[in-house]
Amino acid sequence: MDVSGAAEAVAVPTKKPYSFTPGKLAMWLFLASDAMGFMGFLGVYMVLRVAAPLRVENLTGEQIAGGFRKIGDPAFGIPLTALMTFVLICSSVTMVKSLAAVQRGDVKRMKMWLGATILGGLFFLSCQVYEWSHLIHLGLSPATNYGATFFFLTGFHGLHVTCGVIYLSCIFRRAMQNAYTQENHSPLELVGLFWHFVDLVWIVLFTVIYLMPEPVLRASQ
Amino acid sequence: MSNEDHSALYMKIFGWLTVWTVAEIIIAMPQVGVPRGIMIAGLAVMATIKASMVGLFYMHLKYEGKLIWAVILSPLFLAAVICIGFWPDAVGYYARP
């Protein structure tokens, strides 16, 4: 009886590796509320962006020459932001591989993939700092409605990435103390949920902010 | 499904995410000349597919129960309400002379 019971206990995680925990429910509730916040900001951004061409007329020739009519145009900033998107997707893969490694009992690879995830997050943040400094240097100001929503939306996401890197670093520190095993790795799964959410939100932001064309300018062409 | 199968699946999803991202960038390039309406619709569909892939496979929603799904679907409903709420503003800007 004891032997069959033990076998059943081992078999359960294989059939259903992502079991329900109160921590997971709490994380999902947090992510759901966070998603509503992002949707609200995204809605404001889109409405103001539709109106943005009306405000472009107020920009100086130098600012327009600097590319401000082209924000949202593929010609503006796509290579850098595409690289940022790719790195964030890669960091999602390393995160999920870290979880898969600990579920196999491979703690060494779990640490390695977790460290790679943190590096991916730091690279993303570095690129965002560079992008912001570039745009501010060109004259894009958060004092305008369009600039404010652009900086707020990307900044709000950047704040999430920053929090994610700090969260990951705390988990990494615990991992280095061998706190997580094949049987006990719930915190790793939770930080993974948060990190994938950050990736998911960026996928939407990248498309809406950088790839979708400006509505009125293109429509009038 | 074993963990080894999952690892292979994760890499497959990574490949698809990369392919969709490249496809998004290509159709958004002015040189390609995709009509504006088709471009916006295409980009929205591809972003939705990519986000769904991350949610279903990386966040393991595919393997979750009804309670987690209820938690996810509630804000999606409210997000739809927000979009409908913003719609008159967006239309109002288009209607301006």
- A23, A186 Cβ separation under 8 angstroms: yes
pLDDT tens digits for range A79-114: 888 999 999 999 999 999 999 999 999 999 999 999
The model's pLDDT over A58-85, given as tens digits with 9 standing for 90+, comes to 555 555 444 444 444 433 478 888 999 9
Q: Which residues contact A212 (CB under 8 A, 6 or more apart)?
A: A72, B28, B39, B40, B43
CA-based nearest residue in chain B for residue A90: B14
Q: What is the pLDDT of residue A79?
A: 84
| ipTM of predicted assembly, 2 dp | 0.86
Q: With contacts defined as CB-CB under 8 Å, which chain B residues touch A22?
A: none
Q: Is A96 in Cβ contact with B58 (below 8 Å)? A: yes
Which has the higher per-residue pLDDT, A218 or A68?
Answer: A68
pLDDT digits (tens, 9 = 90+) for B63-78: 888 888 888 888 888 8
- Chain-chain contact of B21 with A14 (C-beta, under 8 angstroms): no
| Option in A36, A100, A192 nearest B79 (CB) | A36
The alpha-carbon gap from B39 to the nearest alpha carbon of chain A, in Å, equals: 8
What would the two tokens of residue A28 be? 């999902």
- Specify the length of chain A in residues: 221
Task: Give the CA distances from residue A109 to residues A96, A104, A186, in Å, rounded to whole numbers and listed in that order.
Answer: 12, 10, 17
Of A28, A46, A92, the CB nearest to B90: A46
In this structure, chain B runs to a length of 97
Cα–Cα distance, A42 to A58 (Å, whole number):
24
